[in-house]
Amino acid sequence: MTTPASRAALTVRPIDASEHLDFVRGRSSVSFLQTPAWAAVKAEWRGESIGWFDGTTIVGSALVLYRQLPKLKRYLAYLPEGPDIDWTDADLARWLTPMAAHLKAQGAFGIRMGPPVVTRRWHAGTIKQAIADPVLGSLSEVPADELDDTAIGVVATLEQLGWNEIPTTGGFSAGQPKFNFQLPLAGRDEDAVLAGMNQLWRRNIKKAAKAGVEITTGTRDDLAEFHAVYAETAERDHFTPRPLPYFERMWDAMTAEEPDRVVLYLAHHEGDLVAATTMVRVGTHAWYSYGASTTAKRDVRGSNAIQWQMIRDAMAAGATTYDMRGITETLDSDDSHVGLIQFKVGTGGEAVEYLGEWDLPLNRALHRGFTTYMRRRG
């Protein structure tokens, strides 16, 4: 990347889905929110694949989702967990400036992106100790076990280029979570991963096996069964469930791209479905995306068993990261969200902090109006 020839200006132009998919397949991994299939999942947004070109060679890609402003032909251009460009390039302007020009020409009044850049990592042991310490209330107050200076340098560059970080409260924003929990799999075998889990996880995995919990993978037809359990979970945990057609659309779009892009897991005990989940994988990165469990038969530990099966399948498929997705920043043991972190911490993985989501206003008045509108919408 440092030879003079490669320092030429990059161009950005739309690419078709197959060109986009070819580029994604050539990468170790990108976020599943940056695959061409995701545009089909997000029906209320208009999707566009774009590529960065150095001469005729494609060197980066992104999925852009356009959300129209009410009554206006102007759009927010959103690149969730993207774009997939060389974030270690000290000259980020040569990537982001032509992107902004292209999106503006497409009618964008503002751009929102979530650079897939990890700034800090905290190991499970550190988090566990921090939760036990009443003085430490959030991850930011806990010394990180790994800090990426280059990634932190990106913040200064983005600010220079006019981007603003979208503030979050407790790590939750309207968009994708800033703090995530990941289980590293690279260079580890099943025994090593199991040994890294806490005693409760190991005991529950054994307990489920002894109780005769069976894990199978399902087909599109089993989505309805998954959805029934998911709706039960939503009611119990007080969140708004997505309708079944959403999952069917996701299934169709994603499996059309790669047959095993998304896999449905079902945990049965004596014929009863006790837990159901989906796992998404792009290259070396596997995500636990949706999970549900019944209130009945919690003691057979279907949740632990189904996670363990997904982890083993991810390893077998060559994944180096098993991603359990968002956590809140809180470590306050009185906060109800801490239970979720504790469940994830039990896998022996690590909390990772991403750069967060960033906005570039292209039309300040419209952008301000949109921000207010979104805030009212909640």
Partner 1 sequence: MSGFELDVDAARWRRHVAATVEARRGLVPVIKGNGYGLGRSLLAMEAAAVGLGTIAVGTYAEVPGALASFAGDVMVMTPWRPFFTDAVLDDRVIHTLGRISDVADLAALAPSARVLLEGETSMSRHGLDRHELAAAVAALGDLRLEGFAIHLPLQAASGGPGRPGGNVAEAESWAAALETSQVDTTTLYVSHLTPGEVGALAARRPQLDIRPRIGTSLWLGDLGALSVRATVLDSHLVSRGEHIGYRQRAMPRDGTLLVIAGGTSHGIGLEAPKASSGAVQRGKLLAKGGLEAAGLSLSPFTIAGKQRWFAEPPHMQASMIFVPASVTAPEVGDAVDVAVRFTTATFDSINLR
Which listed range, 72-80, 124-132, 252-260, 291-299, lies at the site for partner 1 (CB under 8 A)?
124-132
Which listed range, 137-145, 164-172, 224-232, 369-377, lies at the site for partner 1 (CB under 8 A)?
137-145
Shortest Cβ 122–partner 1 spacing (Å): 9
Which listed range, 5-13, 26-34, 92-100, 145-153, lies at the site for partner 1 (CB under 8 A)?
145-153
Question: Among 35, 49, 61, 126, which residue interacts with partner 1 (rule: CB under 8 A)?
Answer: 126
Question: Among 22, 91, 141, 272, which residue interacts with partner 1 (rule: CB under 8 A)?
Answer: 141
Is there binding between residue 136 and partner 1 (CB under 8 A)? yes
H, E, C per residue of the chain = CCCHHHHCCCEEEECCHHHHHHHHHCCCCCCHHHCHHHHHHCCCCEEEEEEEEECCEEEEEEEEEEEECCCCCCEEEEECCCCECCCCCCCCHHHHHHHHHHHHHCCEEEEEECCCCEEEEEEHHHHHHHHHCCCCCEHHHCCCCEECHHHHHHHHHHHHCCCEECCCECCECCCCCCEEEEEECCCCCHHHHHHHCCHHHHHHHHHHHHHCCEEEEECHHHHHHHHHHHHHHHHHHCCCCCCHHHHHHHHHHHHHHCCCCEEEEEEEECCEEEEEEEEEEECCEEEEEEEEECCCCHHHCHHHHHHHHHHHHHHHCCCCEEEEEECCCECCCCCCCHHHHHHHHCCCCEEEEECCCEEEECCHHHHHHHHHHHHHHC
In this complex, which beta carbon is closest to partner 1, that of residue 129 or of residue 160?
129
Shortest Cβ 141–partner 1 spacing (Å): 7
In this complex, which beta carbon is closest to partner 1, that of residue 74 or of residue 120?
120
Question: Among 14, 26, 55, 143, which residue interacts with partner 1 (rule: CB under 8 A)?
Answer: 143
Is there binding between residue 146 and partner 1 (CB under 8 A)? yes
Residues in contact with partner 1, counted by CB under 8 A, come to a total of: 14
Shortest Cβ 93–partner 1 spacing (Å): 27
Which listed range, 91-99, 133-141, 211-219, 289-297, lies at the site for partner 1 (CB under 8 A)?
133-141
